[in-house]
Amino acid sequence: MDTLLTADVAANAPRFRRKSSTYVDAIHDLPAREELAPAQLYSTESGRLFHSGRIAIATVGLPARGKTSFVSTASAKSVLWRQKILKKCREDIYHFLNHENGQIAIYDAVNPTASGRRSLAKEFAKHDVETLFIESACTDERIIEENYVGWESEDAVKHYLARMSAKIPHFETMEEQELNYIKAGTSRDEDSYKTDANLSDQGRLYAEKMGRVLLQHREKERQALKTRGGPDIPLKPLRVWTSTRRRTVETADWLYEQGYSVRQRTQLSQLNPGVCEKMSERRIRAEMPEEVAKHEADPYHHRYPRAESYHDLAVRLEPIILELERQQDDLLIIAHESVLRVLYGYLMACNAADIPSLSFPRNEIIEIIPASYNNEATSIPVLDLPPEIIPSSPEDLEIPVPPSEGPSGSATPMVLGTPRISPKSGTPRITTTAPNDGQLSP
Protein backbone atom coordinates (compact mmCIF):
# COMPACT_ATOMS: atom_id res chain seq x y z
CA MET A 1 0.00 0.00 0.00
CA ASP A 2 2.74 2.49 0.94
CA THR A 3 4.42 1.97 -2.44
CA LEU A 4 1.44 3.74 -4.04
CA LEU A 5 1.60 6.87 -1.92
CA THR A 6 2.12 10.18 -3.66
CA ALA A 7 4.59 12.67 -2.26
CA ASP A 8 1.78 14.90 -0.94
CA VAL A 9 -0.03 12.08 0.81
CA ALA A 10 3.17 10.78 2.33
CA ALA A 11 4.15 14.20 3.63
CA ASN A 12 0.87 14.50 5.49
CA ALA A 13 0.69 10.96 6.79
CA PRO A 14 3.51 10.44 9.31
CA ARG A 15 1.60 7.78 11.24
CA PHE A 16 1.05 5.76 8.07
CA ARG A 17 4.65 6.13 7.05
CA ARG A 18 5.63 4.73 10.44
CA LYS A 19 4.06 1.46 9.31
CA SER A 20 6.02 1.33 6.07
CA SER A 21 9.35 -0.38 5.42
CA THR A 22 11.51 2.47 6.70
CA TYR A 23 12.77 0.47 9.66
CA VAL A 24 11.86 -3.17 9.05
CA ASP A 25 13.69 -4.53 6.01
CA ALA A 26 11.24 -7.36 5.21
CA ILE A 27 13.98 -9.85 5.97
CA HIS A 28 14.67 -9.67 9.70
CA ASP A 29 11.90 -8.47 12.00
CA LEU A 30 12.38 -6.52 15.21
CA PRO A 31 9.80 -5.20 17.67
CA ALA A 32 8.29 -1.86 16.63
CA ARG A 33 10.26 1.20 17.77
CA GLU A 34 9.55 4.88 17.90
CA GLU A 35 12.69 6.00 16.11
CA LEU A 36 12.84 5.35 12.37
CA ALA A 37 15.59 4.93 9.87
CA PRO A 38 15.27 7.76 7.31
CA ALA A 39 15.35 5.62 4.18
CA GLN A 40 12.20 4.51 2.39
CA LEU A 41 13.45 2.62 -0.56
CA TYR A 42 10.33 2.21 -2.69
CA SER A 43 9.01 4.36 -5.54
CA THR A 44 5.80 6.35 -5.55
CA GLU A 45 3.14 7.33 -8.08
CA SER A 46 4.91 10.66 -8.57
CA GLY A 47 7.96 8.77 -9.78
CA ARG A 48 10.04 10.18 -6.95
CA LEU A 49 11.39 8.64 -3.77
CA PHE A 50 9.43 10.99 -1.54
CA HIS A 51 11.69 10.58 1.46
CA SER A 52 14.82 11.93 -0.18
CA GLY A 53 13.60 15.03 -1.99
CA ARG A 54 15.63 16.40 -4.88
CA ILE A 55 19.31 15.66 -5.19
CA ALA A 56 22.22 17.24 -7.05
CA ILE A 57 25.19 14.89 -7.43
CA ALA A 58 28.33 17.01 -7.75
CA THR A 59 31.53 15.36 -8.97
CA VAL A 60 34.90 16.08 -7.38
CA GLY A 61 38.32 15.09 -8.64
CA LEU A 62 41.42 15.82 -10.65
CA PRO A 63 41.57 15.20 -14.40
CA ALA A 64 42.13 11.66 -15.73
CA ARG A 65 40.46 10.14 -12.65
CA GLY A 66 37.50 8.58 -14.42
CA LYS A 67 35.36 11.73 -14.67
CA THR A 68 35.03 14.62 -17.11
CA SER A 69 35.81 18.20 -16.12
CA PHE A 70 35.98 21.75 -17.43
CA VAL A 71 39.40 23.36 -17.46
CA SER A 72 40.18 26.97 -18.26
CA THR A 73 43.08 29.36 -17.85
CA ALA A 74 43.08 31.82 -14.98
CA SER A 75 42.57 35.03 -16.97
CA ALA A 76 39.86 37.43 -15.80
CA LYS A 77 37.92 36.94 -19.01
CA SER A 78 37.99 33.14 -18.78
CA VAL A 79 36.95 33.21 -15.10
CA LEU A 80 33.93 35.41 -15.93
CA TRP A 81 33.04 33.16 -18.86
CA ARG A 82 33.31 30.08 -16.65
CA GLN A 83 31.06 31.58 -13.96
CA LYS A 84 28.37 32.31 -16.57
CA ILE A 85 28.52 28.71 -17.78
CA LEU A 86 28.26 27.34 -14.24
CA LYS A 87 25.29 29.59 -13.48
CA LYS A 88 23.55 28.38 -16.64
CA CYS A 89 24.23 24.77 -15.61
CA ARG A 90 22.62 25.37 -12.21
CA GLU A 91 19.60 27.02 -13.85
CA ASP A 92 19.19 23.96 -16.06
CA ILE A 93 19.27 21.77 -12.96
CA TYR A 94 16.60 23.86 -11.20
CA HIS A 95 14.36 23.72 -14.26
CA PHE A 96 14.75 19.95 -14.53
CA LEU A 97 13.97 19.40 -10.85
CA ASN A 98 11.13 21.94 -10.59
CA HIS A 99 9.36 21.59 -13.92
CA GLU A 100 10.26 18.18 -15.38
CA ASN A 101 9.50 16.01 -12.36
CA GLY A 102 13.22 15.36 -11.94
CA GLN A 103 14.74 14.11 -8.72
CA ILE A 104 18.43 13.59 -9.40
CA ALA A 105 20.70 15.86 -11.45
CA ILE A 106 24.46 15.55 -12.00
CA TYR A 107 26.68 18.62 -11.70
CA ASP A 108 29.93 17.60 -13.38
CA ALA A 109 32.97 19.70 -12.49
CA VAL A 110 36.32 19.52 -10.70
CA ASN A 111 35.00 21.27 -7.55
CA PRO A 112 38.56 21.35 -6.17
CA THR A 113 38.26 23.40 -2.97
CA ALA A 114 36.40 22.89 0.30
CA SER A 115 35.17 26.49 0.33
CA GLY A 116 33.79 26.15 -3.20
CA ARG A 117 32.00 22.94 -2.31
CA ARG A 118 30.44 24.51 0.77
CA SER A 119 29.24 27.46 -1.32
CA LEU A 120 27.80 25.12 -3.93
CA ALA A 121 25.91 23.12 -1.30
CA LYS A 122 24.48 26.34 0.17
CA GLU A 123 23.42 27.53 -3.28
CA PHE A 124 21.56 24.29 -3.96
CA ALA A 125 20.05 24.35 -0.46
CA LYS A 126 18.43 27.73 -1.23
CA HIS A 127 16.42 25.88 -3.87
CA ASP A 128 15.58 22.97 -1.55
CA VAL A 129 18.04 20.68 -3.32
CA GLU A 130 20.23 18.27 -1.32
CA THR A 131 23.83 17.95 -2.53
CA LEU A 132 25.80 14.72 -2.68
CA PHE A 133 29.47 15.04 -3.63
CA ILE A 134 31.24 12.07 -5.24
CA GLU A 135 35.03 12.32 -5.30
CA SER A 136 36.82 10.21 -7.89
CA ALA A 137 40.35 9.42 -6.72
CA CYS A 138 43.13 7.33 -8.20
CA THR A 139 46.73 6.87 -7.07
CA ASP A 140 47.59 4.18 -9.60
CA GLU A 141 49.56 5.86 -12.42
CA ARG A 142 48.92 2.91 -14.74
CA ILE A 143 45.17 3.58 -14.67
CA ILE A 144 45.67 7.32 -15.15
CA GLU A 145 47.86 6.69 -18.17
CA GLU A 146 45.18 4.49 -19.72
CA ASN A 147 43.02 7.60 -20.09
CA TYR A 148 45.52 8.84 -22.67
CA VAL A 149 45.54 5.77 -24.92
CA GLY A 150 45.52 6.86 -28.58
CA TRP A 151 47.41 10.10 -28.01
CA GLU A 152 50.82 10.72 -29.48
CA SER A 153 53.21 10.21 -26.59
CA GLU A 154 54.65 13.73 -26.50
CA ASP A 155 51.24 15.41 -26.82
CA ALA A 156 49.78 13.20 -24.10
CA VAL A 157 52.56 14.06 -21.67
CA LYS A 158 52.26 17.80 -22.34
CA HIS A 159 48.47 17.73 -21.97
CA TYR A 160 48.65 15.64 -18.80
CA LEU A 161 51.27 17.84 -17.13
CA ALA A 162 49.39 21.02 -18.04
CA ARG A 163 46.14 19.79 -16.52
CA MET A 164 47.85 18.42 -13.41
CA SER A 165 49.91 21.56 -12.80
CA ALA A 166 46.82 23.71 -13.15
CA LYS A 167 44.78 21.78 -10.64
CA ILE A 168 46.97 19.95 -8.12
CA PRO A 169 48.15 23.01 -6.13
CA HIS A 170 44.53 24.05 -5.55
CA PHE A 171 42.88 20.67 -5.05
CA GLU A 172 41.60 19.69 -1.60
CA THR A 173 40.28 16.19 -1.03
CA MET A 174 36.82 15.84 0.55
CA GLU A 175 36.98 16.11 4.36
CA GLU A 176 34.01 18.41 5.09
CA GLN A 177 32.05 16.57 7.77
CA GLU A 178 28.98 18.78 7.35
CA LEU A 179 28.59 17.81 3.68
CA ASN A 180 27.30 14.58 2.15
CA TYR A 181 30.01 12.89 0.14
CA ILE A 182 31.29 9.58 -1.19
CA LYS A 183 34.89 8.82 -2.09
CA ALA A 184 35.30 6.39 -4.96
CA GLY A 185 38.52 5.25 -6.50
CA THR A 186 41.22 2.66 -6.84
CA SER A 187 44.00 1.39 -4.63
CA ARG A 188 47.04 -0.79 -5.16
CA ASP A 189 46.76 -2.09 -1.60
CA GLU A 190 45.49 -5.68 -1.92
CA ASP A 191 44.27 -5.55 1.69
CA SER A 192 41.89 -2.73 0.80
CA TYR A 193 38.11 -3.05 0.52
CA LYS A 194 38.33 -1.06 -2.72
CA THR A 195 40.84 -3.43 -4.31
CA ASP A 196 39.45 -6.11 -6.60
CA ALA A 197 42.42 -8.45 -6.35
CA ASN A 198 42.79 -11.92 -7.83
CA LEU A 199 42.61 -15.15 -5.91
CA SER A 200 45.95 -16.37 -4.56
CA ASP A 201 47.43 -19.77 -5.41
CA GLN A 202 46.41 -21.02 -1.98
CA GLY A 203 42.92 -19.65 -2.55
CA ARG A 204 42.61 -21.57 -5.82
CA LEU A 205 43.62 -24.78 -4.06
CA TYR A 206 40.98 -24.12 -1.42
CA ALA A 207 38.36 -23.43 -4.10
CA GLU A 208 39.07 -26.73 -5.85
CA LYS A 209 38.99 -28.68 -2.59
CA MET A 210 35.74 -27.00 -1.58
CA GLY A 211 34.21 -27.85 -4.96
CA ARG A 212 35.28 -31.49 -4.79
CA VAL A 213 33.93 -31.84 -1.24
CA LEU A 214 30.58 -30.39 -2.30
CA LEU A 215 30.22 -32.66 -5.34
CA GLN A 216 31.19 -35.71 -3.29
CA HIS A 217 28.62 -34.75 -0.67
CA ARG A 218 25.89 -34.40 -3.30
CA GLU A 219 26.65 -37.87 -4.69
CA LYS A 220 26.77 -39.32 -1.18
CA GLU A 221 23.33 -37.84 -0.49
CA ARG A 222 21.98 -39.38 -3.69
CA GLN A 223 23.29 -42.82 -2.72
CA ALA A 224 21.86 -42.45 0.79
CA LEU A 225 18.47 -41.64 -0.74
CA LYS A 226 18.62 -44.86 -2.76
CA THR A 227 19.60 -46.82 0.34
CA ARG A 228 16.52 -45.53 2.15
CA GLY A 229 14.34 -46.82 -0.66
CA GLY A 230 14.17 -43.71 -2.79
CA PRO A 231 14.25 -43.72 -6.60
CA ASP A 232 17.54 -43.84 -8.50
CA ILE A 233 17.20 -40.45 -10.16
CA PRO A 234 19.81 -37.92 -11.29
CA LEU A 235 20.85 -35.12 -8.96
CA LYS A 236 19.11 -31.79 -9.31
CA PRO A 237 21.12 -29.27 -11.35
CA LEU A 238 23.54 -27.22 -9.23
CA ARG A 239 23.63 -23.47 -9.83
CA VAL A 240 26.29 -21.15 -8.42
CA TRP A 241 25.86 -17.49 -7.43
CA THR A 242 28.83 -15.28 -6.56
CA SER A 243 29.38 -11.60 -6.08
CA THR A 244 31.08 -9.65 -8.88
CA ARG A 245 34.39 -9.42 -7.01
CA ARG A 246 37.24 -11.38 -8.59
CA ARG A 247 37.92 -13.56 -5.57
CA THR A 248 34.41 -14.92 -5.41
CA VAL A 249 34.21 -15.32 -9.17
CA GLU A 250 37.53 -17.18 -9.23
CA THR A 251 36.46 -19.33 -6.27
CA ALA A 252 33.71 -20.64 -8.55
CA ASP A 253 36.04 -21.18 -11.55
CA TRP A 254 36.72 -24.85 -10.77
CA LEU A 255 33.00 -25.63 -10.66
CA TYR A 256 32.48 -23.64 -13.88
CA GLU A 257 35.17 -25.75 -15.55
CA GLN A 258 33.23 -28.85 -14.50
CA GLY A 259 30.24 -27.55 -16.45
CA TYR A 260 28.16 -25.96 -13.67
CA SER A 261 26.21 -22.72 -14.23
CA VAL A 262 27.84 -19.72 -12.50
CA ARG A 263 26.17 -16.32 -12.21
CA GLN A 264 27.59 -13.09 -10.75
CA ARG A 265 25.24 -10.99 -8.58
CA THR A 266 26.20 -7.44 -7.61
CA GLN A 267 23.91 -7.55 -4.56
CA LEU A 268 26.12 -10.24 -2.98
CA SER A 269 29.03 -7.86 -2.36
CA GLN A 270 30.17 -7.56 1.24
CA LEU A 271 29.16 -4.96 3.78
CA ASN A 272 30.91 -1.62 3.06
CA PRO A 273 33.25 -0.96 6.04
CA GLY A 274 33.36 2.82 5.54
CA VAL A 275 36.01 4.70 7.50
CA CYS A 276 36.63 1.70 9.77
CA GLU A 277 38.36 -0.29 7.07
CA LYS A 278 41.60 -1.81 8.37
CA MET A 279 41.21 -0.05 11.75
CA SER A 280 41.90 -2.14 14.84
CA GLU A 281 39.30 -2.47 17.59
CA ARG A 282 41.56 -0.48 19.93
CA ARG A 283 41.77 2.41 17.46
CA ILE A 284 38.02 2.35 16.77
CA ARG A 285 37.26 2.47 20.51
CA ALA A 286 39.76 5.28 21.04
CA GLU A 287 38.70 7.47 18.11
CA MET A 288 34.97 6.75 17.92
CA PRO A 289 33.67 5.88 21.41
CA GLU A 290 30.19 7.22 20.62
CA GLU A 291 29.94 5.08 17.47
CA VAL A 292 31.10 2.02 19.40
CA ALA A 293 28.42 2.62 22.02
CA LYS A 294 25.75 2.89 19.32
CA HIS A 295 27.05 -0.25 17.65
CA GLU A 296 27.00 -2.25 20.86
CA ALA A 297 23.45 -1.07 21.57
CA ASP A 298 22.15 -2.04 18.11
CA PRO A 299 24.73 -3.88 15.95
CA TYR A 300 22.15 -4.75 13.29
CA HIS A 301 20.95 -1.22 12.46
CA HIS A 302 24.00 0.83 13.40
CA ARG A 303 26.31 1.92 10.60
CA TYR A 304 29.80 3.31 11.12
CA PRO A 305 30.61 6.54 9.24
CA ARG A 306 30.53 6.05 5.46
CA ALA A 307 29.64 2.38 6.00
CA GLU A 308 26.65 0.08 5.58
CA SER A 309 24.66 -1.51 8.39
CA TYR A 310 23.37 -5.07 8.34
CA HIS A 311 19.94 -3.51 7.80
CA ASP A 312 21.26 -1.78 4.68
CA LEU A 313 22.73 -5.06 3.49
CA ALA A 314 19.45 -6.90 4.08
CA VAL A 315 17.57 -4.32 2.00
CA ARG A 316 20.14 -4.73 -0.77
CA LEU A 317 19.68 -8.52 -0.65
CA GLU A 318 15.87 -8.48 -0.88
CA PRO A 319 15.83 -9.17 -4.68
CA ILE A 320 18.30 -12.03 -4.18
CA ILE A 321 16.12 -13.59 -1.49
CA LEU A 322 12.97 -13.29 -3.60
CA GLU A 323 14.72 -15.08 -6.45
CA LEU A 324 16.25 -17.62 -4.10
CA GLU A 325 12.78 -18.54 -2.82
CA ARG A 326 11.71 -19.40 -6.38
CA GLN A 327 14.70 -21.65 -7.11
CA GLN A 328 13.86 -25.21 -8.15
CA ASP A 329 17.49 -26.34 -8.46
CA ASP A 330 20.20 -26.76 -5.85
CA LEU A 331 22.04 -23.47 -5.28
CA LEU A 332 25.56 -22.68 -4.11
CA ILE A 333 26.20 -19.12 -2.89
CA ILE A 334 29.82 -17.94 -2.62
CA ALA A 335 29.98 -14.67 -0.69
CA HIS A 336 31.56 -12.68 2.11
CA GLU A 337 30.68 -13.66 5.66
CA SER A 338 28.63 -10.49 6.22
CA VAL A 339 26.36 -11.54 3.33
CA LEU A 340 26.09 -15.10 4.61
CA ARG A 341 25.02 -13.81 8.02
CA VAL A 342 22.05 -12.00 6.49
CA LEU A 343 21.06 -14.89 4.24
CA TYR A 344 21.41 -17.46 7.01
CA GLY A 345 19.49 -15.22 9.41
CA TYR A 346 16.61 -15.01 6.95
CA LEU A 347 16.51 -18.71 6.06
CA MET A 348 16.83 -19.89 9.66
CA ALA A 349 14.51 -17.21 11.14
CA CYS A 350 17.18 -15.67 13.38
CA ASN A 351 16.48 -12.57 15.43
CA ALA A 352 17.95 -9.47 13.78
CA ALA A 353 19.96 -8.68 16.91
CA ASP A 354 21.81 -12.00 16.53
CA ILE A 355 22.73 -11.57 12.84
CA PRO A 356 26.03 -9.65 13.32
CA SER A 357 27.47 -12.33 15.64
CA LEU A 358 26.72 -15.41 13.51
CA SER A 359 29.86 -17.46 12.90
CA PHE A 360 30.84 -19.37 9.73
CA PRO A 361 34.12 -21.31 9.99
CA ARG A 362 36.01 -21.35 6.73
CA ASN A 363 36.59 -25.09 6.85
CA GLU A 364 32.86 -25.80 6.55
CA ILE A 365 30.20 -25.53 3.88
CA ILE A 366 26.80 -24.62 5.35
CA GLU A 367 23.91 -26.60 3.87
CA ILE A 368 20.34 -25.42 4.41
CA ILE A 369 17.52 -27.80 3.51
CA PRO A 370 13.94 -26.45 3.33
CA ALA A 371 11.35 -28.33 5.40
CA SER A 372 7.64 -27.94 6.02
CA TYR A 373 7.88 -25.82 9.17
CA ASN A 374 11.54 -25.13 9.90
CA ASN A 375 14.55 -25.18 7.60
CA GLU A 376 17.37 -27.51 8.58
CA ALA A 377 21.01 -26.38 8.57
CA THR A 378 23.99 -28.73 8.62
CA SER A 379 27.71 -28.27 8.07
CA ILE A 380 29.83 -30.11 5.52
CA PRO A 381 33.47 -30.23 6.71
CA VAL A 382 36.23 -29.34 4.27
CA LEU A 383 39.10 -31.41 5.67
CA ASP A 384 42.88 -31.20 5.38
CA LEU A 385 43.07 -27.44 4.92
CA PRO A 386 46.22 -25.54 5.98
CA PRO A 387 45.60 -24.23 9.52
CA GLU A 388 46.48 -20.63 8.57
CA ILE A 389 43.43 -20.30 6.31
CA ILE A 390 40.86 -21.53 8.82
CA PRO A 391 41.02 -19.13 11.80
CA SER A 392 37.90 -18.87 13.89
CA SER A 393 35.23 -16.48 12.67
CA PRO A 394 35.94 -13.03 14.16
CA GLU A 395 33.55 -11.33 16.55
CA ASP A 396 31.62 -8.42 15.08
CA LEU A 397 33.20 -5.46 16.86
CA GLU A 398 36.78 -6.65 16.55
CA ILE A 399 36.55 -5.75 12.86
CA PRO A 400 33.31 -3.93 11.98
CA VAL A 401 33.26 -5.70 8.63
CA PRO A 402 35.08 -8.93 9.50
CA PRO A 403 37.07 -10.45 6.64
CA SER A 404 35.83 -13.85 5.52
CA GLU A 405 39.14 -14.69 3.96
CA GLY A 406 42.20 -16.33 5.34
CA PRO A 407 45.54 -16.06 3.60
CA SER A 408 44.30 -18.02 0.62
CA GLY A 409 41.69 -15.69 -0.86
CA SER A 410 38.72 -17.90 -1.69
CA ALA A 411 35.16 -17.57 -0.41
CA THR A 412 32.80 -19.27 2.15
CA PRO A 413 29.96 -21.41 0.67
CA MET A 414 26.27 -21.91 1.51
CA VAL A 415 23.99 -24.40 -0.28
CA LEU A 416 20.20 -24.66 -0.60
CA GLY A 417 19.37 -28.25 -1.37
CA THR A 418 17.27 -31.38 -1.34
CA PRO A 419 15.86 -32.64 1.97
CA ARG A 420 16.98 -35.99 3.34
CA ILE A 421 13.83 -36.66 5.33
CA SER A 422 11.62 -38.00 2.54
CA PRO A 423 12.75 -40.29 -0.30
CA LYS A 424 10.05 -38.73 -2.50
CA SER A 425 10.99 -35.08 -1.88
CA GLY A 426 12.84 -32.89 -4.33
CA THR A 427 13.10 -29.45 -2.70
CA PRO A 428 16.19 -27.40 -3.59
CA ARG A 429 18.99 -26.85 -1.09
CA ILE A 430 21.20 -23.85 -0.43
CA THR A 431 24.90 -24.20 0.20
CA THR A 432 27.03 -21.23 1.10
CA THR A 433 30.73 -20.50 1.23
CA ALA A 434 32.90 -17.42 1.69
CA PRO A 435 36.18 -16.28 0.09
CA ASN A 436 39.27 -17.44 1.96
CA ASP A 437 42.03 -14.96 1.10
CA GLY A 438 42.75 -13.00 4.24
CA GLN A 439 41.78 -9.67 2.70
CA LEU A 440 38.44 -7.91 2.74
CA SER A 441 36.82 -9.16 -0.44
CA PRO A 442 33.40 -10.17 -1.75
Contacts (Cβ under 8 Å, ≥6 apart) of 68: 108
Collapsing DSSP to helix, strand or coil, 106 comes out as strand
Residues 338 and 341: their CA atoms lie apart, in Å, by 5
Alpha-carbon distances, residue 102 vs 57, 99, 146, 277 (angstroms): 13, 8, 35, 35
Alpha-carbon distances, residue 368 vs 59, 398, 404 (angstroms): 44, 28, 19
- Catalytic residue status for 108: yes
Alpha-carbon distances, residue 216 vs 90, 158, 213, 251, 278 (angstroms): 62, 61, 5, 17, 37
- Angle (deg, nearest 10), helices 337-347 and 310-325: 60
Q: Which of 8, 29, 92, 108 is catalytic?
A: 108
The number of residues making up the chain comes to 442
Q: Are 161 and 169 in contact (CB under 8 A)?
A: no
The identity of residue 257, as a single letter, is E
Active site residues: 108
